[in-house]
Chains A and B, each alone.
Chain A
Amino acid sequence: MTHMIHGPHENQGESFEDKPEVPLSGIIYGDIIYWGTIIATLVVIAGSIMSFVSRRSYIDPVYLLTSVWQGKTVEDIWKDAVGDQPDGHWYLWQLSNDTGLTVAGIALGIFSVIPGIIGAAVYMFKEKQILFGGLAAIAALITIYATIA
């Protein structure tokens, strides 16, 4: 039976404590997201370079910045540039150009949350933490729904 003491304390009879073990599920969650975010940043950097150096941008970057600065609506920006406002995961079909690659990089960083949660859920089930593993699985399902809905 564990005796709970709230707040800082020393283990009885010990002047030096062992650090509490960090749950593997947490480490797996954190590492997947950390490296996912760093890889995503590299993709965004590549997209940014393409937008200025490539002669054929999907949408001219200066036009986009000007439109944002002038307060154009999202609908008008897209209509004036390519004729239609996108719907769905449009950037997946535009990976070869600067505009799609940059948004895909940002989306990749955001998406890394899903494998992170799933990885943590799997290890929580392995650690016999059924309740929290179940909560993580529900969180993963809702996030997947938000991504594809």
Chain B
Amino acid sequence: MPELLKRVPELTVLIVLTIAAYAIMGLFSEVSGTEVITPFAAWAIIVGSFVISLLIAIISVLGGVGGGVIFTPIMLGFTSADTLIVRSTGLVVAMFSGLVSSGPFMRNGLADIRLVFFCAIPIIVGAMAGSQFAISMAENMGETGDAIVRLTLGIVLVFIAVMFIMGGSKTEYPTPKRIDIISRKMNLKSRYWEESLNKTVEYHTTRALLGGALFFVVGFTGGFFGLGGGWAVVPVLNLVMAVPLKVSAASSGVLLAIGNAAAIWPYIVKGALIGVFAAPWMIGQVIGGILGAHILAKIKAAFVRNILIVLLFLTSIKLIARGVESLFGIDIPLV
């Protein structure tokens, strides 16, 4: 850790300033409480959110998913917070670790800039459509819309958890049987330095059209639910388009940042991004994203993925129960 702080001085600056900021906020607080939250409780919620966001960022980088897939379902399943506020903050959680990791991933050549721009357009368009649909649904359908969001998100989570379980079939260096004509015409091939092998790895992507269509769907669900889309980007790149696993993981973060950057604006202009609530989550993602990227090599990613699978299944049960309760007016006794 001390060596990392020396090597990345901007990380040190961010950590020191954040600790100082929370100390100043605690010691020189001028806010007054409400009947529900005291000034100290408000400060504790902010510091607690930062710490949880930091952990989510590290786990999501290690697990190869955006943080939104952890944050949004838990907040929707276990709190009463408005779904628009949760989803807008979920996009912040989903995108900021990807934004900050774009620099190191591009510098070490792991993220493929040409592949990113090929996949970016369908994911941006899908994300914009998803977020606009979410806003209009909230405006027109009220509580019924909220219940539908919780129920469908619960079902989507079961699907994501199953995808993680099936994720063992991923290959580090997939070899496509044939290259489709679009990938060939676009010359969608590249190479990168594989540190663990001390060799250059070359690859040629395939199924460009199918990949593009799937990225539209990934963008839509990410924008609509505020999940991001990291859970699906890596499988599409690796299993469908035959991109090496490391390049898929690195390009995924960069792609998510671009897609979510388009998706979040409709939420911001409608005032659904509440600054004091979202700020600690954003700061935690930036610091955790840098930390996670540097400790990635030392941790067993499979362990983190197993935790994610359990988390997703448990949260999906709660979300489905809450959705059914609201839609059909029945009571399902769950914690």
Contacts and interface: CB of A to CB of B under 8 A. Distances in A.
B36 to A, nearest CB: 5
A113 B12 CA distance: 24
B5 interface: no
Interface in A61-117: 61-66, 68-74, 77-78, 85-91, 98-103, 105-107, 109-114, 116-117
Interface string B193-211: 1100111111110000000
Contact of B109 (A4, A22, A70, A105): A22
A20 B191 contact: yes
A38 B25 contact: no
B98 to A, nearest CB: 9
A45 B17 contact: yes
Interface residues of B, number: 93
Nearest to B123: A139
B145 to A, nearest CB: 11
Interface string B170-198: 00010110000000001001011110011
A27 B109 CA distance: 9
B99 A26 contact: no
A56 to B, nearest CB: 9
A85 B32 CA distance: 24
A54 B82 contact: no
Interface in A30-65: 30-31, 33-38, 41-42, 44-45, 47-49, 51-55, 57, 60-65
Chief secondary structure at chain B's binding surface: helix
Contacts of A136: 117, 120
Interface in A121-148: 124, 129, 131-132, 135-136, 138-139, 142-143, 146-147
A13 to B, nearest CB: 14
B17 A42 contact: yes
Contacts of A52: 24-25, 28-31, 43
B111 interface: yes
A30 B104 contact: yes
A5 interface: yes
B277 interface: yes
Interface in B94-125: 95-96, 99-100, 102-109, 111, 113-114, 117-118, 120-121, 124-125
A12 to B, nearest CB: 12
A26 B250 CA distance: 12
B175 to A, nearest CB: 4
| Ranked 10 nearest A-B pairs via Cβ | A34-B103, A30-B106, A71-B80, A102-B275, A26-B113, A52-B25, A146-B262, A113-B261, A22-B109, A7-B173
Interface of A: 4-11, 17, 19-20, 22-23, 25-27, 29-31, 33-38, 41-42, 44-45, 47-49, 51-55, 57, 60-66, 68-74, 77-78, 85-91, 98-103, 105-107, 109-114, 116-117, 120, 124, 129, 131-132, 135-136, 138-139, 142-143, 146-147, 149
